[in-house]
Chains A and B, each alone.
Chain A
Amino acid sequence: MGTAPASRDVTSYGMGLAAPLALFFLVFFVAPLLQLLWLSLHNDTAGLHWGVGQYLHFLTDPFSLSVLGSTLLLGAEVTAVCLVLGFPIAWLYQRVGPRLQTVIILIVLLPLLTSVVVRTFAWIVILGRQGIINATLQSLGIIDTPLKLLYTQFGVVIALAQVQMPLMTLPLITALGRIDPNLDDASCSLGAGSWRTFFRIVLPLSLPGVIAGCTLTYAAAITAFITQSLIGGGQMLFMPMYLYQQASTLQNWPFASAISIIFLLAVLAVVSVFTTLGRMSRGYGGA
């Protein structure tokens, strides 16, 4: 700064331009979250008595803990399904011509931009008692009575996987595009088979993309309120609906705040684990 004030760097702009958004975030994002934290540390709804009663309530209540557990598990299942289905799409993308590439990208992209309610509604039509799956199986004579697919864990996982698939596939396409295709040929010409090359060369080198995709998919899957509630129905309760019920229906804001904070911390923990893995994998991939 002090060395050459005359030759100002023309390629960058002052930090002052970030001030409006920073201020906006301070007032409307950071302050509300701090207030959430503040209220969660009170034992009464009026916010007069400090204490960790809300957290104790959550952490000693088997029901609340099971809701948290099933939410985190749901995220893991959806992420796994997205990875298994998304990776081949990214792989195929790298092997087809530019026209087909555009087609694939647009197929992947469309759900991302289509309303979540619409996408979820589509799964109600597919999984319902008179839906495609049941109608097909019945007309083929495989089953007599309709299978219960809606309001099941299976239904929620498959619907969420479809809804969140773009978040997994896009980073994978980017990561696979960065791998030097010569490595593939080299591995094959040195005698490694396609499967071995895939698991020993392609997969490790694409780890940054895998981890980026998993982070986004996981975070989105566990907070996907609409899909969880419409496909899961009343019997299955996950953290977002639990939070909403406590806040809106029961008006128990301190407990809802504690649920929010615990949920926030759980998401942050998962994201930081993924980020750490990502940093390690970059070192691995670059070596």
Chain B
Amino acid sequence: MNGRKRTLEAISFEFVMTVIAIIALIIIIAPSLVVLIVSFTSGFSLRFPPPGYSLRWYAELWDAWQLHFAAKNSLIVALWATCLSIVLGVAAALAISRSQKLSARLLDSLFMSPLVLPALAFGLAALMLFSLVGLPVSPLTLVIGHTVVCVPYVVRNTVAALAQLEPTLLESSAVLGASRLYTFRRIVLPLIRPGIIAGAFIAFMSSFDNVPVSLFLRDAATDMLPIRMWQDLEGKLDVTIAALSSVLIIATVVLVAVMERVTGLSRRLTN
């Protein structure tokens, strides 16, 4: 009797948890699918389901020079911000990763703080600083601002990769007569490279998608894609944005698939 009651109870628990989990997964994935479908509409509105299907909005997108211009700016800034983040972030991660010193822990908190602090407040602050020193808004100020908010991803992933490195490997290498630089090049770097790449990838994506910092540090000459899209959406509900969104979704899926193969991205984010 008791056993029967328990199995019923176990079934009810598993049923509820599984149903909620599946609903949650559908809520996560559905919006992207909806955008993909709507982008092929033949109509002028975002009605779902679409009245018919066509590629007209992709043709529109092909001619949307303002979006192309903004996309080019966003790509350039994201690439530079990622490069700067790798150089500064990997060096800093090497310094703080194995150190127990208070200074290392404080620096770690400092480097991570842009992840928690409201980026909009930082964007305003950066604009005020640049205008105080007379530096006009330009791709340079954008790269600097983006690097501040993107470098934490590189630092965090590199520190995590370094933490998994066996210290005995480094000691053996030293005992066998290798210099520190040689050990770094031949042992450390190959082992932590996937971690660096994963961090750089997330940094790149978050720079490409950044709004709060760009909002203050760009102007008409340095229009950025997410802001252009946001302003287009504020004004009118343009189906061209659906086509662009679909392109971005597909690009993200492809990049994530590549990164999963190269760096084991999913394991990195759950360990």
Contacts and interface: CB of A to CB of B under 8 A. Distances in A.
B233 interface: yes
B174 A10 contact: yes
Given A122-B245, A194-B9, A85 B48 contact: no
Contact of B270 (A107, A119, A126, A174): A174
Contacts, number: 290
Contact of A91 (B17, B89, B113, B125): B17
Contacts of A30: 110
B249 interface: yes
B144 A92 contact: no
A165 interface: yes
A114 interface: yes
A124 B148 CA distance: 31
B197 interface: no
Contact of B211 (A15, A113, A225, A264): A225
B216 to A, nearest CB: 7
A10 B183 contact: yes
Chain B, interface size category, equals: 35 or more
Contacts of B6: 188, 193
Interface in A170-191: 170, 173-174, 177, 188
Interface string A128-156: 10111001000000000000000000000
Contact of A130 (B45, B91, B245, B255): B45
A120 B111 CA distance: 29
Contacts of B46: 124-125, 128, 130-131
B101 to A, nearest CB: 7
Interface string A86-118: 101101100000000010111111110111111
Contacts of A174: 270-271
B119 interface: yes
Contacts of B25: 89, 104, 107-108
Given A20-B88, A92-B17, A162-B27, A124 B144 contact: no
Interface in B181-228: 183, 202, 205, 208-209, 211-212, 215-216, 226
A121 B233 contact: yes
A154 to B, nearest CB: 14
Contacts of B38: 125
A28 interface: yes
A109 B226 contact: no
A5 to B, nearest CB: 15
Contacts of A177: 270
A88 B21 contact: yes
Interface in B61-98: 87-89, 91-92, 94-98
Contacts of B60: none
Interface in A189-233: 193-195, 198, 215, 219, 222-223, 225-226, 229-230
Contacts of B22: 92
Contacts of A264: 117-118, 121
A88 B242 CA distance: 31
Contact of A15 (B31, B95, B115): B95
B160 to A, nearest CB: 12
Contacts of A225: 120, 211-212, 215
Contacts of A88: 17-18, 20-21, 24
A143 B250 CA distance: 35
B128 A11 contact: no
A36 B124 CA distance: 8
Given A33-B125, A161-B27, A244-B215, 17 more contacts: A11-B98, A12-B99, A17-B95, A18-B104, A24-B147, A24-B148, A31-B129, A92-B22, A105-B270, A107-B28, A108-B25, A111-B28, A118-B248, A119-B32, A122-B32, A193-B6, A263-B121
Interface of A: 10-18, 20-22, 24-25, 28-33, 35-36, 39, 84-86, 88-89, 91-92, 102, 104-111, 113-126, 128, 130-132, 135, 158, 161-162, 165, 170, 173-174, 177, 188, 193-195, 198, 215, 219, 222-223, 225-226, 229-230, 239-240, 243-244, 247-248, 253, 256-257, 260-261, 263-264, 267-268, 271
9 shortest interchain CB distances as A-B pairs:
A122-B31, A32-B125, A194-B13, A260-B121, A18-B95, A88-B21, A85-B24, A17-B95, A21-B92
